[in-house]
Chains A and B, each alone.
Chain A
Amino acid sequence: MSVLTDIFSWIEQARDPTSEIGHSLRGAIVIDGGLTPAMSDWTLSRCLGRYTVAAMERLEIADLAGLRVGIVLARSVPVAPIRAIFLPLLRGAAAVDVRPSSTQVRVVEVIAKSFRNVMRVKWPERRCEYVIAYGGDDTITAIRDALPPATEFEGHGHGFGVGLHGGELTPSVVRALAEDVAAFDQFGCLSPQCVLTSGDPAALAKVLCEQLEEIDAKLPRAPLPTEQAAAIAQWRGRLAVRGARFLSGRNALVAHLTSSHLADSPGGRCVAVIGVPSPDEFSVMLQPVSRHLSCVGVSSERLMKCIPPDCRARLVPVGEMQDPPLDGPEDPRPPMSARPR
């Protein structure tokens, strides 16, 4: 049995909510991700839908053939460990040592239960010939620098997404943008932090807020812990002094303002819509953060040329920001590699 067969079999069981794996995985995602059961189901169906045999075969490039690979995970969307673990195995790794994020251990444990012959849940041992790390720049740099000289390294830093909107208020377009915001309750590294529009930001914010409310009816946002609500309160203050106005929907908050600077988001379906004079401004505004951009969603094809020339983010139509293909890349930015020897 090849590892591809094993993974495919696991995926099939994971799709089935009545199977032991499917049931365990859904529960793990709810806890690890702080998501509602409905969002957990949606998350899993989107994620697992990518695992076609053809896509997995394209990943069997054997560049890690026979190696023991260490994987250090960071807190991310709760399904992130699935790809992070399966990808090296498809690339030929003989075995993986996986160190989960301290706050997201359950999904990793569900996977480990089925792959004990090739996987251990522990900090990568020194005998790992290859280490893949996810996290902030400081974290992955520290991991890289602590490795033995002979160990190869692949580091994937955090990033964030931005939506670009050309002014059209077509319901399907705004709906797609809202789905990008709502997915994973906006806590993913591909989630749009803000939306730049060359149209009327107030008008877009209104429709976006309405669409987020509609989405919430079927995919409710999880209750926010006090800490998260407090972060939102600070975010509102920072935007208010920039002249923002706010629209509150059920489990969503959309700010709108005119500005020449981007805005962050506290997550939890809180997003700023920023009006700019023309799409020509998109590139100017994105330039200072281009190396951090992991994904840019555009409302129309004509906006695809409105990103900085050095930006390596995944460029997709809105609605697809959270749907990277399995044979990816999820994040086209070049990974951090081992330091020169």
Chain B
Amino acid sequence: MVDLHRRILDLIRNGELPADHFDEMACALFDWQRKRNLPLSKISEALYEGVTPTRADDIPAVPTDVFKVDWVCTFDHAQAARVFLTSGTTADVHGRHALGDLSHYTESLIAGASCQLLPASQYRIIALTGDERESPNSSLGFMLSRFVDHWHNGAWDPFFVKNGRLEADRMERVISTPLLGEPPVALLGPSFGFVHFLEAYPEVRVNLGAKAVIMPTGGFKGRSRELSPEDLYERLCLAFGVEDHQIIGEYGMTELSSQAYESVGPDGRWYRVPPWMRVTAVDPDNIKPLPHGQVGLLRVVDLANVWSSVAILTSDLGVTSPRGFRVLGRVSGATPRGCARALDALLLGDVGSN
């Protein structure tokens, strides 16, 4: 492992990072990546005039779409320890994130969750996913499998998706047993998984206790009936006997290596990032940071993203505040005239070019 990567791993483990040190590390990582990552180098030249940044805000950010058309990685992707794929995109074109090794990814997700999601030493986990062997290219599956390895101490198989199907009946049986006590229960999974369960068992009413945690993540991606986050959270509180603050949404994506988690305060919910991550809202015209409160495109600097690009330009619209950030919606990328399928043919041509 190169020294820079080792230093990043250490700071993730330590969990402390002064702001100026963050900028220095981020710029150093970008410089290291640019020399080894041709797509990043091209973006730097074409869109940022090849400048050498001194602040994290000035680092060339790779738009997430680029992961669909090229390998954004600093090594031969054929040697990847793991490749995560985005799910459910148009024309079945998946974004691909190749990792040279999994140490930063794993360290980041455990350290981040320990602080913001799962502070206890053990949990009885109910994961609304399959284990990683079911979907080896799923970053969510990997994450929840690591959570199970690190925290699960329960009497049941923690993975409630088998062969792509939610075991709603088994889940209902498990949660219907007396579950108060230790270790606390953690329900973790994609939002549409929770919706499926609630549709299968709309009358379920259990009490998971004051230390239980529920973590829904992601949108519905066209599956199942869509609920607003507010409606979903209300139904989860009712079904599982928890308070609103026990529901902690997760923000992550295949193109990143770290996650942000919601915290509830007097002014509502904001996503908070770990010390090695920074999220800003930028003007999509010039990718410059916007002041708190102005809606822009979310740009993420993630020091754990050592194998691809430290700075990512997402397709999410959002707003920041001193308390964190909020996601307001996702840019579809399709043009307003809706020629999505016809243009997907062009996009596939884009993919074929690399």
Q: Which residues of A contact B (CB under 8 A)?
A: 34, 74-77, 103, 135-138, 157-160, 187-189, 193-194, 226-246, 259-267, 288-289, 292
Contacts and interface: CB of A to CB of B under 8 A. Distances in A.
Given A233-B63, A241-B66, A261-B353, A187 B337 contact: yes
Nearest to A136: B341
Given A231-B333, A259-B353, A193 B43 contact: no
Contacts, number: 154
Contact of B295 (A76, A226, A234, A292): A226
A263 B332 CA distance: 17
A241 B39 contact: yes
Contacts of B62: 237
B285 A229 contact: yes
B198 interface: no
Contact of B43 (A160, A235, A241): A241
B335 A289 contact: no
Contacts of A188: 337
Contact of B336 (A157, A226, A228, A261): A228
Contact of A242 (B315, B332, B333, B354): B354
Contacts of B338: 74-75, 135-136, 158
Contacts of B295: 226
Interface in B331-347: 331-343, 345-347
Given A136-B339, A237-B62, A246-B47, A262 B349 contact: yes
A243 B340 CA distance: 24
Contacts of B9: none
Interface in B311-348: 313, 315, 317, 329, 331-343, 345-348
Given A158-B340, A241-B66, 11 more contacts: A103-B336, A229-B297, A230-B317, A230-B331, A232-B284, A233-B63, A237-B43, A238-B69, A242-B42, A266-B335, A289-B346
The 6 A-B pairs with the shortest beta carbon distances in the complex, nearest first, are A237-B63, A229-B284, A240-B46, A158-B339, A292-B342, A264-B346
B28 interface: no
Contacts of B331: 227, 230-231, 234
B336 A267 contact: yes
Nearest to B63: A237
A160 B284 contact: no
A226 B296 contact: yes
A245 B341 CA distance: 27
A136 B47 contact: no
A160 B64 CA distance: 25
